[in-house]
Structure 1
């Protein structure tokens, strides 16, 4: 049974690593498409570039749907791995919600980009810089959100938060079930802690199935939220938004790994210092 569980975990991790590799490629694709569109600003080629941007953003949404489908398939064999993945860093697991990010965080990203890019534009204006250089990592398209776009995003934001709260209540109920019959009563009655028990196995299997269903629902909500935000945004805005989101996801993983290395080095240094003092 342990080997089977390990194989499932390896399959889940392999799926994740493939996803991260694809995301790295999408960063390059988005940068290239955005740079091409901006270089053709005001020309006849701009319309063609925008069509390519739409196709790319839809392809990326398709990537998310495909990844969610693969996770749903793998989670039915072992869903608990996704709630605290071993392939994640502790930092990522500390921020995780239902096996991933909160869908509502996508809106925070939109607002953050809108504000930061507007600030850049104002600074450029005050410095009397001719033109606006959007070739950098941020771009300026999200600072052009209209009142109508913001209103639609706000309405969607409220709706998604409501859905999140419903799902959070469901997972809270599942977590509380661990202290209910038969798990708690068997744990109390057993002479030796942790002995195999059929009733407990059946209860935990049922809980894993429920967790797999919730994971699929959460992934679907994430994909739905992304799709709806993309519908509101113009092609360049959508590409900017996806680029920022993917880079944030990849960066959090790298930053988490960096912080882990620093912590391990601190522990080793502390042990070395203690050994040195004892030697003296």
Structure 2
């Protein structure tokens, strides 16, 4: 049984690392196309960007499908993945990021890019023409950058944001209910009546198997909500805006993992140093 569980976890971790590797690959592809689009502002390059964003959404959907298949064999691994850093697990929601965080990323990018453009205008540096017009240095023409979201786009994004937050709250309540069930009958009764704490029990195993299955279903729903939210956001954005947004999201995901890894390494080093200091004091 332990060997089987270990194999499942290895398969889940392998799936995760393949996903991270693919994200790194897509980042380079998006960067290359955006550079080309800024040099050749035509429909052909917009078409290429649409095709690439379609592939990226397909990647995400495929990954969600693989996770759903693996989760049915052991879903609890996804709620506190051993392959994640402590930082990532502290921020995790339903086995991943909150779909509403996609909107916060858009707002952050929109604000930061606008601030940069205003600064460029005031300083009269690159991006400022004699006519007093600021060049689109982010997206590539025609108000395509995220700092140029139209009022209609912002309105659609806001409506979608409110809807997704409502969906998140519904799912969070379902998870809370399942967590409360862990201390419910028959588990609580069996634990109380046991002579030896934590001894194997068929009733408890069946109850936990049922809970694992329910958690796997919620994970699949959460992943579907993430995929659906991303797809609807991309529909609202222009090809260049969508590419900029997806690029930022992937870079943030990979960066969070690297930052978390660095923090975990520093924590381990501090623990080793503390143990060394303690050992030295004891010898003295």
TM > 0.5: yes
Is the contact made by 1:27 and 1:246 (CA closer than 8 Å) also made in structure 2?
yes
In structure 1, what is the equivalent of residue 3 of structure 2? Answer: 3
Secondary structure, counterpart of 1:99 in structure 2: coil
Does residue 1:134 correspond to 2:137, yes or no? yes
Q: Is the 8 A contact 1:36 1:49 kept in 2?
A: yes
Q: Does 1:52 align with 2:55?
A: no
CA shift digits 1:213-246 (9 cap, x unpaired): 0000000000000000000000000000000000
CA-CA distance at 1:275 after TM superposition: 2.2
Shift of 1:135: 6.9
2:80 is the alignment partner of 1:84: yes
Which residue in 2 is equivalent to 1:115? 111
**How far is 1:63 from its partner?**
0.3
1:12-51 alignment runs, 5 A limit:
12-41=12-41, 46-51=42-47
Q: Check conservation: 1:118, 1:140, Cα contact below 8 A.
A: no
Q: Is the CA contact 2:79–2:95 (under 8 Å) kept in the aligned structure 1?
A: yes
Residue 101 of structure 1 aligns to a residue whose secondary structure is coil
Aligned with 2:121 (options 114, 118, 125): 125
Give CA deviations for 1:37-64 in whole Å, capped at 9, x if unaligned. 01123xxxx2111110000001000000
Who is 2:226 aligned against? 222
Deviation at 1:276, TM superposition (A): 2.4
Q: How many residues align?
A: 274
Cα contact 2:136–2:145 (8 A) shared by 1: no
Alpha-carbon contact 1:121-1:140 (below 8 Å) kept: no
Distance 1:2 1:99 in 2: 23
CA contact (8 A) 1:72 1:212 kept: yes
Gaps of at least 5 residues in structure 1 are: none
Indicate whether 1:212 and 2:208 are aligned. Answer: no
Q: Is the 8 A contact 1:186 1:200 kept in 2?
A: yes
TM superposition shift of 1:272: 1.5
Structure 2 portions without partners, runs of 5+ = 128-134
User: CA separation in 1, counterparts of 2:204 and 2:283?
Assistant: 52
Native 8 Å contact 1:134 1:140 kept in 2: no
Superposed CA deviations along residues 49-94 of structure 1, whole A, max 9, x for unmatched, are 1110000001000000000000000000000000000100111001
- Match of 1:277? 281
TM-score (norm 2): 0.94
How far apart, CA to CA, are the structure 2 residues paired with 1:59 and 1:254?
25
Distance in 1 of aligned mates of 2:65 and 2:279: 52
How far, CA to CA, are the matches of 2:33 and 2:103 in structure 1? 23
Partner of residue 246 from structure 1, selected from 246, 250, 264: 250
Q: CA RMSD in A?
A: 1.5
Q: Aligned pair 1:183/2:187, yes or no?
A: yes
Shift in alpha-carbon separation, 1:267–1:140, aligned structure 2, 3 A? farther
